Amino acid sequence: MNIPEIISKLTLEEKAGLCSGADFWHTKAVERLGIPSIMVSDGPHGLRKQEETTDNLGINESIKAVCFPAGCATASSFDRELIRRMGEAIGNECQAEDIAVILGPAVNIKRSPLCGRNFEYFSEDPLVAGEMAAAFIQGVQSRNIGTSIKHFYANSQEHRRMSSSSNIDKRTAREIYMTAFEKAVKEARPWTVMCSYNKINGTYAADDKNALTDILRGEWGFDGFVMSDWGAVSDRCTSLEAGTDLEMPSSFGFRDRQIADAVREGRLPEKILDNAVERILTIAERYINNRDEKAVFDLEADHELARKIASECMVLLKNEDCILPLDKKADVAFIGAFAENPRFQGGGSSHINAWKTESALSYAAEKGLNVSYCQGYDPLENESDPALIAEAVSLAEKSGAVVIFAGLPDSFESEGFDRSHMRMPDCQNELIEAVAKANPNTIVVLHNGSPVEMPWVSKVKGILEAYLGGQAVGGAAVDILFGDVNPSGHLAETFPVKLEDNPSFLSFPGEGNTAEYREGVFVGYRYYSAKKMPVLFPFGHGLSYTTFEISGITADSSVYTDKDKVSVSLSVKNTGSRSGKAVIQLYVMPETKCEFVIRPPMELKAFDKIYLEPGETKQVSFTLDRRAFAYYDAEAEDWQVPTGYYTLAAGLSSAELTAKTTIHIEGRNFIPKEITPDTLFGDILRINGAMDIIKPYLKAFGLDAGTSDDGAMGGGTAEMIDSMMKYMPVRNLLPFGGGDVDCSDCLELIEKLRDLLEKQ
Ligand code: BGC
């Protein structure tokens, strides 16, 4: 297609029409000019392609497809290569099904464990979310299928999701809520971005020109098209001007007419419309030109891949007395309805019509394992059924070990609403307590999309977090339970002891249509570590059937400027007797206290997953650029690295940082931007050479002797200046000068300091 020529031939109405869907899933075609319609589909962890009977809500049944593990699980793999492979498989499925863009990945930050869509999202940490998203996008797009990273941005709750305003300060927005998008856009160049439903500081995300145009395109270089979330557009012309190119789904011509009228009446520059059309056609053409008609959607092969991925994602939270792996000959009881019918995905737009479900029970039977079963609880109920518990206890009493399959039912978490608490159903908690009492060798496998409280945590020997692990979750769990796979997932979110510990607790989900993000940058472990608060399981935690040792961390220098790259290396050894994978996490900890910016005590800045044979040692290296040490300075609208010491701490969990080294970085020095009579002496003294200028004026404070006599005022002069003058504005030379100074002295000093400042 010669796109500029086509645009010149399109009528105004046709151009306006191209900026909204033809129906729920398709863009419009303009046959007379050879413009094809393309189809988009959810996403993110498999294909939800609705066929002919598309309903307006998009909830009708979709084609049979493969449900891969959801984002909560895949993030725990900390494995970019694995997620890339999942992306390739989904991209291939899209080619086979003629879908141009898959609606994912979903990267919103897990601000509260209560968000109903946490199961779809990756992490409380923007680096993990961004890295996983980039890997997924690269995988899908390697098959010439587009992605739509969503929901841009600050869509961290379902409560009033189409009207609530996420009120966030600029620094928090940049450091926490935008970073995953930024990373993915810069590293993986998604074909499209989906804006979120919510408002941000009072402006609908679809209308947020600063985010969609200035930052996304201007700063990050995004060159695809922005589509609205389904029904996220309030005012079509404002949103088009802001940068929302495609409105989804169809507005049945209504909004197209609004666009055309606005252009005709001179309220909307036609160039804006042309740009949007050009972006949409560019992506459509990219897809059409790279169609792979021979692609085959191999359900069996992708099911196997789904199991493999799930087993790399599960997190072994607890393994007392090495209760796991279980002996394949042991007589084991599987208890709990989820053993038979696992909960493997969440409800809503990501819901896949899985062609097959592999339960732990059926897979164990296939493998010839000696497993007995009873239901234990009714997955649709909260209250216990005493008969089911009694049956479970009696089975537990006569079994060698018990695995309870528990978690959250669909009714507890889903797109569309948030949870109101963090508890599992009472019947499941009671079952676990009763069974653990009857058999000390009790293990719990959890199927849930976000953290739960575990009142029974100390009473069971093993806990395996399987998350919503996709249609093969049962098989993957059995592979881990019986040792065919060594677990290697790590938590991409903190499990707090109780909901009230979460930093957003007091302001989530907000008042009416306002959600104040009051905890600022202190989201997840950034908060818990600052508060030194005990948690149930820390961010980054995950056990293995082997043990690893990290040692010998070194940086390539001890002193840097903020323009340098910092190369860090360390060695990791498998000190156990099984092969396994270690997730090495590298955190940056600012050590120099800075009164100008309050920072989290630790932030994850790099990670890698390393496979090691027993006894094997490998060298691991990371390169950190200035962003790893920077905070976002809202006033300067830029990233800044404060001068100071930084510890680089590596380990297998945020709470187990065993290798550390400290470096110094010369970066930003906090000197005043200007000198006024209100500027504090303490701030002025940060300017090189300021002391020499100020010294003669110290007489005004009776401090002239003190400058050369450490004991003149009963303490060293340096300490005196520090303690008394630090918070004194220059203008106070007058009242504290005892009549020896007048206004002109003050002004003279200010002038001299201004000269000095100019020379900095
Ligand atoms: C969801 C999106 C989804 C879209 C299409 C919306 O309600 O928020 O994530 O892609 O529907 O199903």
pLDDT digits (tens, 9 = 90+) for 58-102: 567 899 999 999 999 999 999 999 999 999 999 999 999 999 999
pLDDT tens figures, 224-251: 999 999 999 999 999 999 999 999 999 9
Residues classed as catalytic? 229
Ligand 1 atom, smallest distance to 103 CA: 10
CA distance linking residue 203 with residue 190, whole number of Å: 24
Residues near 37 by beta carbon (within 8 Å), at least 6 away in sequence = 22, 26, 27, 28, 29
Structure-token pair, residue 732: 């106070």
Return the H-helix or E-strand segment holding 650.
strand 644-653
CA of 400 to the centre of ligand 1 (A): 46
Q: Is the pLDDT at 390 greater than 80, yes or no? A: yes
> For 103-125, what is each residue's pLDDT tens digit?
999 999 999 999 999 999 999 99
3-state secondary structure of 69: coil
Residue type, 311: S
Pocket test for ligand 1, best of 229, 248, 351 (most atoms within 8 A of CB): 229
pLDDT at 706: 44
Q: How confident is the model at residue 701 (pLDDT cuts 50, 70, 90)?
A: low
C-alpha distances in angstroms, 374 versus 389, 396, 646? 9, 10, 54
Which residue is listed with tokens 């500081």?
201
Q: Which atom of ligand 1 is nearest to the CA of 151?
A: 9
Q: What is the pLDDT averaged over residues 561-582?
A: 98
Q: What is the pLDDT of residue 51?
A: 78
Residue 1 has pLDDT above 90, yes or no: no
Atom 8 of ligand 1 has which residue's CA nearest to it?
Answer: 229
> Three-state SS for 8?
helix
Mutate to test the pocket of ligand 1, among 24, 41, 42, 197 (most ligand atoms within 8 A of CB): 42
| Residue minimizing CA distance to atom 12 of ligand 1 | 349
Torsions phi, psi of 278, nearest 5? -60, -40
Tell me what pLDDT residue 710 has: 46
Contact 318, 461 (CB under 8 A): yes
Question: Which mutation among 230, 247, 350, 351 tests ligand 1's pocket best, with the greatest number of atoms within 8 A of CB?
Answer: 230
Contacts 24+ apart (CB under 8 A), 732-741: 733/697, 733/700, 733/701, 736/700, 736/701, 737/700, 737/701, 738/700, 738/702, 740/699, 740/700, 741/697, 741/700
Angle at alpha carbon of residue 156, lines to 153 and 160, rounded to 5°? 100
The whole-number pLDDT of residue 267 equals 97
Residue 128 C-alpha to ligand 1 middle, in angstroms? Answer: 22
- Give this prediction's pTM: 0.96
Mutate to test the pocket of ligand 1, among 99, 192, 349, 353 (most ligand atoms within 8 A of CB): 349
Closest ligand 1 atom to the C-alpha of 349? Answer: 12
Dihedral sign, CA of 466, 470, 474, 479? negative
Q: Which residues line ligand 1 (CB under 6 A)?
A: 42-43, 58, 103, 150, 229-230, 349
Can the peptide bond before residue 614 be classed as cis, meaning omega within 30 degrees of 0? no
At residue 722, the pLDDT reads 63
Which amino acid residue places its CA nearest to atom 3 of ligand 1?
349
Asked whether the predicted pLDDT for residue 389 surpasses 70, the reply is yes
pLDDT of residue 732: 87
Tell how far the Cα of 493 is from the centroid of ligand 1, in angstroms.
23
The average confidence (pLDDT) of the chain is 95
| 241 CA to centre of ligand 1 in angstroms | 22
Interatomic CA distance for residues 61 and 378, integer angstroms = 26
Residue percentage of the chain with pLDDT more than 90: 90
If you average pLDDT over residues 569-576, what whole number do you get? 98
The DSSP bridge pattern shows strands 559-561 and 656-666 to be: parallel
Contact 650, 553 (CB under 8 A): yes
Which ligand 1 atom sits closest to the C-alpha of 249?
5
What does the pLDDT read at residue 144?
98
Residue 535, both tokens: 């948690």
332: left (phi over 0), alpha (psi -120 to 50) or beta: beta
Average pLDDT over residues 450-459: 98
pLDDT at 760: 87
**Both ends of the chain: CA-CA distance in Å?**
55
pLDDT, position 697? 81
Per the listing, tokens 């922005």 go with 226
Atom of ligand 1 nearest to the CA of 58: 12
Closest CA to 631 of 588, 584, 688, 567: 588
Instruction: At 653, list the tokens.
Output: 């969990």
CA of 540 to the centre of ligand 1 (A): 29
| 580 alpha carbon – ligand 1 mean position (Å) | 38
Give the model's pLDDT for residue 368. 96
Task: Give the Cα separation of 449 and 497 in Å (integer).
Answer: 17
pLDDT digits (tens, 9 = 90+) for 146-192: 999 999 999 999 999 999 999 999 999 999 999 999 999 999 999 99
Q: Specify the residue with its C-alpha closest to ligand 1, atom 9.
A: 349
pLDDT band at 745 (very low <50, low <70, confident <90, very high): confident
* Partners of 331 in the β-ladder: none
Q: How many CA atoms lie within 13 A of 605 on its CB side?
A: 28
| Residue 353 buriedness (CB in 10 A; 0-12 / 13-18 / 19+) | middle
Give pLDDT tens digits for 9-34: 999 999 999 999 999 999 999 999 99
| Centroid of ligand 1 to alpha carbon of 229 (angstroms) | 6
